[in-house]
């Protein structure tokens, strides 16, 4: 009887903690999206957009985690310097790519759906985003890294991290960290 009661209390406490985590993550995501949109509205597009949006994204997106997971198990072969270099380049690539998605004057409308927690310190928040009259399923993966940060974005089921991982896989097999960094440099320099 006591055991059943204890289990019930623990389960209730866990549910409360999970709900609180989900709410915290959602609050952080809403703040991030609002800040990005505010900056995007003021920017004029192109490289100006990327420059202005960078500080906001660095505050809310954990690019280190994103790069590590995009590279996958091959990350263990990287030296600390190579890890830092790859993260720097990947960050630049993703920010440039992300900022190109905005058309000045177009305001996306985001509806936040019920979030879920696949594990401790992780929350997945699905949204429906209406942009230029089209509806998109966009899911944000958040991690508690001292504060809640975005670590992956899935647009219509396509994970940014998994998509790059498929590309990094071949490079890691071919030439390890050197090949990954060379390819990232090439992509970043490409206009």
Query: Would you say 37 or 155 has its CB closer to another protein?
Result: 155
Work out how close the CB of 8 gets to another protein at its nearest, in angstroms, rounded to a whole number.
28
Query: Would you say 1 or 118 has its CB closer to another protein?
Result: 118
Work out how close the CB of 129 gets to another protein at its nearest, in angstroms, rounded to a whole number.
12
How far apart (Å, rounded) are the C-alpha atoms in residues 120 and 142? 11
Work out how close the CB of 30 gets to another protein at its nearest, in angstroms, rounded to a whole number.
19
Query: Would you say 27 or 77 has its CB closer to another protein?
Result: 77
- Which residues are at the interface with another protein (CB under 8 A)? 68-69, 71-73, 75-76, 93-94, 96-97, 100-101, 118-119, 122, 128, 132-135, 137, 141, 151-152, 154-159, 161-168, 170-171, 183-184, 187
Q: Which helix (H) or strand (E) holds 22?
A: helix 2-42
Question: 62: helix, coil or strand?
Answer: coil
Query: Would you say 45 or 72 has its CB closer to another protein?
Result: 72
Where do we find the tokens 């830092």?
84
Work out how close the CB of 165 gets to another protein at its nearest, in angstroms, rounded to a whole number.
6
Query: Would you say 1 or 134 has its CB closer to another protein?
Result: 134
Work out how close the CB of 73 gets to another protein at its nearest, in angstroms, rounded to a whole number.
5
How far apart (Å, rounded) are the C-alpha atoms in residues 143 and 100? 25
């Amino acid at each position: 009887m006591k055991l059943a009661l204890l289990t019930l209390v623990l389960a209730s406490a866990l549910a409360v903690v999970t709900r609180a985590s989900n709410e915290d993550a959602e609050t952080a995501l809403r703040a991030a999206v609002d800040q990005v949109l505010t900056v995007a509205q003021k920017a004029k597009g192109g490289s100006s957009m990327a420059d202005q949006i960078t500080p906001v994204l660095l505050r809310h997106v954990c690019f280190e985690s994103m790069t590590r997971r995009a590279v996958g198990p091959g990350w263990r072969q990287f030296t600390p310097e190579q890890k830092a270099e790859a993260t720097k380049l990947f960050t630049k690539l993703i920010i440039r790519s992300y900022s190109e998605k905005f058309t000045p004057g177009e305001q996306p409308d985001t509806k936040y759906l019920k979030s879920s927690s696949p594990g401790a310190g992780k929350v997945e928040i699905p949204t429906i985003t209406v942009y230029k009259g089209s509806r998109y399923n966009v899911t944000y993966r958040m991690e508690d890294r001292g504060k809640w940060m975005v670590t992956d974005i899935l647009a219509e089921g396509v994970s940014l991290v998994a998509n790059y991982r498929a590309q990094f896989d071949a490079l890691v097999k071919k030439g390890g960290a050197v090949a990954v960094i060379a390819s990232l440099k090439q992509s970043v320099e490409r206009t």
